């Protein structure tokens, strides 16, 4: 509709400038500038003609007479905005609209009668899609009191943006990245966190543009606003809510991947990290991981979801292998020990996640290190490099170390200056 209005406005402006006719006597109502009993493009031409004359007149010139019934938005100024209202009203009536010009302008300028709650979320899914969810309320009662016409939600506008905090100006700097229009959002039921029952959310699936390069220093999110339909007139509602994407998920899911079979082990017990071994994801390891994926991954899972799935599974399902139990897995690969025999220690726990990461194509490596100040407790951990930034991964056991877990924790690289 906006494109139609813009084209009509352009045509009307051209016609007005070619043939500016004197304004007719007072019209019969708002918008009927030429007093022919109709509100159409001819009235818009009268307004544009007057606006053009005013724009080029100087202080010495006598001001042209303002055309009657032309101040559509009652702002005391007659300009192109009034012509746009006339043209959009003409388009509205041409398609069967019946409200008066006064009510049309009143409805079109409505901005605060539809509200969206603050309960919004954005979850990345497979193939760089994001499920944006929100609760929606139609504040019909206030619309009826103010305008007296039927109101409903015609759709939603979703904007993807980046933002950062500028300490110098003490302001948040925002940049819009992509826009989406959703005419029918999916209803999704979600269990309430506290108490009984469920809440129905609106949900839209949008794709992140492939040409966006993400900066880990910025936050990324979505702004959701409504398109209201009031008696057939669509109104963009300026009140909105926002939902941030989990930054870590965004970074992991948009990383450039190069699938490979080898990944290194670095000994960081001393002052200088040294590569001491290279592990291989064998064909048999890949079969084990493929079987795990078939049994546990779903089609809509993002890469982050898949890694988190294995990370949690290892934590909950592996028996800590000490003494004779360790002898049973001493010669096994990490995924064989964990996913087949369900036994392991820190080397197997973190190694299984490292094998999945290598298989998927992440720049992953393992660390041999000391824990504690006395250098007596040897430990193995996983680290991954994404676009030059390091992230630590720790898979604890569900027993004594149940709380000792983290996934993609941003850190200073442990292998700077490695030999």
283-320 pLDDT, tens digit per residue, is: 999 999 999 999 999 999 999 999 999 999 999 999 99
Top pLDDT among 231 and 220 is at 220
The tens digit of pLDDT for each residue in 35-76 reads 999 999 999 999 999 999 888 876 666 777 888 999 999 999
In this predicted structure, what is the pLDDT of residue 238?
Answer: 67
Mean pLDDT across 240-263: 90
Mean pLDDT across 368-381: 85
CA gap 12, 49 in Å, rounded: 9
Locus of tokens 């982050």? 304
pLDDT surpasses 80 at 7: no
Alpha-helical (H) ranges within 225-333 are 247-253, 283-296, 303-317, 324-327
The tens digit of pLDDT for each residue in 193-203 reads 666 778 888 99
Domains of the chain, start order: 2-108 (1.10.1330), 115-246 (2.60.40), 262-411 (3.10.620)
pLDDT, the chain, mean:
85
Return the percentage of the chain with pLDDT > 90, whole number: 55
Q: What is the pTM of this model?
A: 0.72
Mean pLDDT across 175-186: 93
Whole-Å CA distances, 370 to 130, 155, 225: 40, 57, 52
pLDDT surpasses 90 at 19: no
Least confident of 13-22, 181-190, 221-230: 13-22
In this predicted structure, what is the pLDDT of residue 286?
Answer: 98
CA gap 27, 29 in Å, rounded: 6
The tens digit of pLDDT for each residue in 126-160 reads 988 999 998 876 555 665 566 556 777 889 999 99
Structure tokens at 157: 């506008």
Top pLDDT among 224 and 400 is at 224
């Amino acid at each position: 509709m906006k494109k139609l209005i813009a084209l009509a406005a352009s045509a009307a402006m051209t016609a007005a400038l070619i043939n500016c006719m004197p304004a007719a006597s007072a019209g019969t109502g708002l918008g009927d500038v030429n007093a022919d009993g109709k509100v159409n493009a001819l009235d818009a031409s009268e307004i544009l003609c007057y606006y053009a004359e005013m724009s080029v007149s100087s202080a010495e010139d006598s001001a042209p007479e303002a055309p009657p019934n032309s101040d559509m938005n009652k702002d005391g100024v007659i300009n192109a905005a009034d012509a746009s209202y006339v043209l959009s009203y003409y388009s509205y009536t041409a398609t069967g609209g019946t409200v008066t010009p006064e009510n049309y302008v009143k409805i079109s300028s409505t901005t605060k009668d539809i509200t969206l709650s603050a309960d919004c979320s954005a979850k990345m899914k497979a193939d760089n899609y994001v499920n944006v969810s929100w609760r929606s309320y139609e504040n019909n009662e206030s619309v009826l009191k103010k305008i007296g016409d039927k109101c409903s939600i015609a759709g939603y506008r979703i904007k993807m943006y980046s933002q950062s905090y500028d300490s110098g100006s003490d302001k948040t700097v925002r940049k819009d990245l992509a826009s989406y229009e959703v005419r029918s959002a999916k209803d999704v039921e979600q269990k309430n966190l506290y108490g009984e029952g469920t809440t129905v959310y609106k949900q839209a699936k949008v794709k992140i543009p492939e040409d966006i390069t993400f900066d880990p220093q910025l936050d990324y999110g979505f702004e959701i606003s409504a398109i209201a339909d009031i008696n057939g007139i669509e109104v963009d509602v300026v009140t909105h809510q926002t939902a941030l994407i989990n930054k870590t998920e965004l970074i992991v899911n948009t990383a450039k991947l190069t699938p490979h079979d080898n990944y290194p082990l670095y000994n960081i017990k001393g002052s200088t990290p040294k590569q001491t071994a290279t592990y291989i994801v064998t064909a048999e390891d890949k079969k084990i991981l493929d079987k795990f994926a078939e049994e546990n991954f779903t089609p809509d899972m993002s890469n982050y979801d898949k890694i988190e799935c294995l990370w949690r599974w290892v934590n909950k399902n592996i028996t800590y292998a000490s003494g004779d139990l360790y002898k049973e897995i001493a010669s096994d690969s990490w995924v064989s020990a964990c996913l087949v025999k369900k036994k392991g220690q820190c080397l197997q726990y973190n190694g299984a996640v490292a094998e999945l990461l290598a298989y998927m194509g992440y720049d992953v490596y393992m660390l041999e290190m000391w824990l504690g100040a006395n250098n007596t407790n040897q430990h193995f951990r996983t680290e991954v490099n994404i676009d030059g930034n390091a992230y630590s991964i720790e898979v604890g056991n569900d027993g004594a170390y149940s709380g000792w877990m983290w996934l993609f924790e941003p850190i200073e690289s442990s292998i700077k200056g490695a030999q």
